Each structure stands twice: as structure tokens, then as C-alpha cells.
Chain A
């Protein structure tokens, strides 16, 4: 008996894709741990370069945090489609009927989760090494979330674009960094404002981040199926 054609359900598929990636990431791939240690080292080096005066470190703290996050995002993006490259499994995803935006959303969710998690670790480290005041921590975490979403929206798209290219380790940051300038800028200013207890600019920067997120997630999701091999 010929089987029923699978019913496409966008959200469920995105969820399971992200879930699988996260499970497999935790299950056997030590690359994530190496990335975190690398970033901790970057913080150390920056601390040595900019310190030891606590006031200077505290002033530099938001910038340092987001530079480290930008590097993190670029490293993580290399792993966004890593499984598909290593195991050759992109085809099976493409064979499923229906529109292919779900592949983008699933990968975005995966990247976003990783980035926020790494971001929390970096936040703690920055608070320690750079004396970043955490009194306004809900706001700082909100900034982390908004910024990570914006960053991940682009890094996921480009990771998918470059999935079969060999030079992608260099190409990805080159394409990524110019586009995420507004994200980093807004996130740093918002974090700085929150750290100093000065809320005057924070709202405006959050709005910028929010609009950026909406615009880029939408545009990338629309373009993504077109840039895949069979699209």
C-alpha cells in the first residue's frame, strides 16, 4: 500500500529540526566546548590589554561582551549546517514536500538557542572579569536575546548559502560582519546604558534591535528557499 504523503506542518518541523540539532550537539560534538574556551581566552586577553584599572575595564565591558559575542556567532554559524555537511543529510530534508522555509526557521531556532546560551556564559564571565554591573540584568538579558536573534537571522542564512563551499570559514565572517554592525552597535549602547543605570537611550536601541530582527528574519526566511540547491 503506498504510504500517505506527509502533511507539511511548518512549526512542528522547525521545532524537531532544532531539537535534533541541539540533541546531537550536546551528544557528541565537543566543538561547542572548545568554542566557549576560546572565547574565554579572548576575554582574558582583552582584559590584560585594557586593564587593570577597574574603571577602564567597566567602561569597556559592554563593547568587549559584544565583540566576543560577534566572534561567537561567527564560530557557531559554521556549525549551523555542520551535520548536513558531515553526514550528507541535507537531501532528506529537501525531499519533504511543501515550502522550505521551515529549514531556515529550524536552523535559526538552533543557532539562536546556542547563541543565547553562549551569551549567558560570556555575560557571567564579563561580569567577573570586567566588572560589568548586573543590577539591571533583566534588561541586559533582553538585549542579549534581541541581539542574538538579529545576529542569528543573518548568520543562519549565510551558513545555509555557503553550505557546500570550501572557503566558507573566511567567507562567512566577511559577509556577516558588515551586516551585523547595527546589531552590535545597538546592543553595546543598550548594555552600556543599562550598566550605568541610564535608561534614556535604551528604549530607542531596543526598538532598533526589534525592527532589525523583524526585517531580517522575514527577508531571510523569504529568500532562503530560493538559495538552496533545488530552489
Chain B
């Protein structure tokens, strides 16, 4: 068992990441609001400043989950399992937000709530994989079995993403469907908009790292409540 270092009430690194994240978010907010509206979409384009970062963080989290799942399979340390679950949790939240904001953006802009766009479809599949991940974790009480099972699902689900993506791309290209690029749409990116987007991306990333670390520590404290033999 890892000798737990004494946890201070709030770890300085957490404060650093979250602090930096919030400050950057404020800046991002300012830039987003001061950026000009898009030629085609008007003020609606502002949803992009939230939608793109949430999708980005969602995929960051997915990579995190994959990394920690593989690490657990190799090393079998409880820490890796905890962090895999934390990543998956954040991934679930952010991907859900991404799909939701994408939908919100899509309806007034292009008239549809959903397109069978490769990115969106793959994101939806990944979302369902994560839901399954958590239902599985909830169904197993023994921590060791749970960690092993979750790692299996995490790895299989993750390697599925590129394959699914490719197959949906082929599927659509055969029917020559115009692809609505949900990342930027038919938006011409002017420099101020790009700046706002980048700043928000950075803000969300910093917040993600901070939240992940904090959440991981909470999970560690929960685990420490268990007695020694």
C-alpha cells in the first residue's frame, strides 16, 4: 500500500492549476465577448467558445483514462485506477457538455440538432462507452476486480475511437454528404476570434488539470478510510 503523504487541506498544486485556470477563464470570457460576431452566424458563434474547449477537454480526459488504464494493467497500483476513474468522470461530463452545446449551436445555425458527422458520431459512441464504464464500476464492489474490469473497458473503448471514426468517415464519403464541420462550421476565423478560442482552450485545460488532481485526492482520501488488516 502506498504510504499516504499527509494531505494538506488544499494542495498547493491544485490551487495553482485552478487559480491559473480561473484567471485565464476570465480573460477568455473577456476576449470571447469582445470578439466580433461572425459574418454568417452573428452572435451565435459565441457558443463555439464553449463548445470547442469542452470537446477538447473531453478528449483529453479520454486520453487520460486510456493512459491510466494501461498503467494499471502494467503496474497494478490503486492510484492508476483512481485516476482512470477520475478522468472518465470528467470525460463524461465534458463530452456531455460538448454534445449538448453542439446541439444548441446546430439548431439555430444549420437547422438540425444532430448530424451524422464523424466527429459527433464518434463522440456520442465514446460517451456511451463511458456511461458503460461507470455502470460497470458501480456493479462491482471488490476494488481489485473493479479496477481490472474498468481497465479492460477503458482500453477496449479507447482503441475503438479511431476505428469508429474512420468507418464513419468512409460511410459518409460514399454518399457524398456535405460535412458540416462542427468544430468551426462555416465560420471564417478572424484573429480576435482565434485568440478568444485559444485562450478559452487554455483556460479549460488548466481547469481540467486542477479539477482532476483535486478529484484524485478526494478519491484517495475515500480509499484511505479503509482499515488495515
Check if B148 sits within 8 Å of A231, measured CB to CB: yes
Q: A157-B156, A171-B135 are in contact. Are A178 and B148 (CB under 8 A)?
A: no
Check if A227 sits within 8 Å of B156, measured CB to CB: no
Report which of A157, A179, A226 forms a contact with B129, defined as CB distance below 8 A.
A179
Interface size, A (range): 20 to 34
Check if B140 sits within 8 Å of A165, measured CB to CB: yes
Interface size, B (range): 20 to 34
- In the assembled complex, the Cα of A34 lies from the Cα of B46 at a distance in Å of 55
The answer to the question of B93 belonging to the interface, with a C-beta cut-off of 8 Å to chain A, is: no
Check if B140 sits within 8 Å of A223, measured CB to CB: no
Report which of B73, B135, B160, B167 forms a contact with A178, defined as CB distance below 8 A.
B160
The answer to the question of A194 belonging to the interface, with a C-beta cut-off of 8 Å to chain B, is: no
Check if A174 sits within 8 Å of B132, measured CB to CB: yes
Check if A154 sits within 8 Å of B156, measured CB to CB: yes
- In the assembled complex, the Cα of A186 lies from the Cα of B164 at a distance in Å of 10
The answer to the question of A185 belonging to the interface, with a C-beta cut-off of 8 Å to chain B, is: yes
Stretch at the interface among A57-65, A68-76, A138-146, A212-220: A212-220
- In the assembled complex, the Cα of A150 lies from the Cα of B16 at a distance in Å of 46
Residue of B nearest to A153 (CB): B156
Best-buried of A182, A186, A220, A223 by chain B (most CB within 10 Å): A182
**CB-defined contacts of B132 to chain A, threshold 8 Å:** 171, 174-175, 178
CB-CB contacts of A164-187 with B at 8 A, as 1s and 0s? 011100010011011101100110
Stretch at the interface among B22-30, B168-176, B192-200, B208-216: B168-176
Check if A182 sits within 8 Å of B167, measured CB to CB: yes
- In the assembled complex, the Cα of A178 lies from the Cα of B135 at a distance in Å of 14
The answer to the question of B139 belonging to the interface, with a C-beta cut-off of 8 Å to chain A, is: yes
- In the assembled complex, the Cα of A6 lies from the Cα of B139 at a distance in Å of 36
Check if B136 sits within 8 Å of A171, measured CB to CB: yes
The answer to the question of B58 belonging to the interface, with a C-beta cut-off of 8 Å to chain A, is: no
User: Which secondary structure dominates where chain A touches chain B?
Assistant: helix
Check if B167 sits within 8 Å of A219, measured CB to CB: no
Residue of B nearest to A154 (CB): B156
Query: Smallest CB–CB gap between B117 and chain A, Å?
Result: 15
- In the assembled complex, the Cα of A190 lies from the Cα of B114 at a distance in Å of 26
Q: Can you list 12 A-B pairs, Cβ within 8 angstroms, ordered by A? A: A161-B153, A162-B149, A171-B136, A174-B135, A178-B125, A178-B132, A186-B167, A189-B174, A226-B73, A226-B148, A226-B151, A227-B149
Binding site for B on A (CB under 8 A): 154, 157, 161-162, 165-167, 171, 174-175, 177-179, 181-182, 185-186, 189, 201, 204-205, 208, 211-212, 215-216, 219-220, 223, 226-227, 229, 231
Beyond A157-B156, A227-B149, 13 additional pairs, beta carbon < 8 A: A157-B152, A161-B152, A166-B139, A171-B132, A178-B129, A181-B125, A182-B166, A185-B168, A208-B163, A211-B163, A215-B159, A223-B152, A227-B152
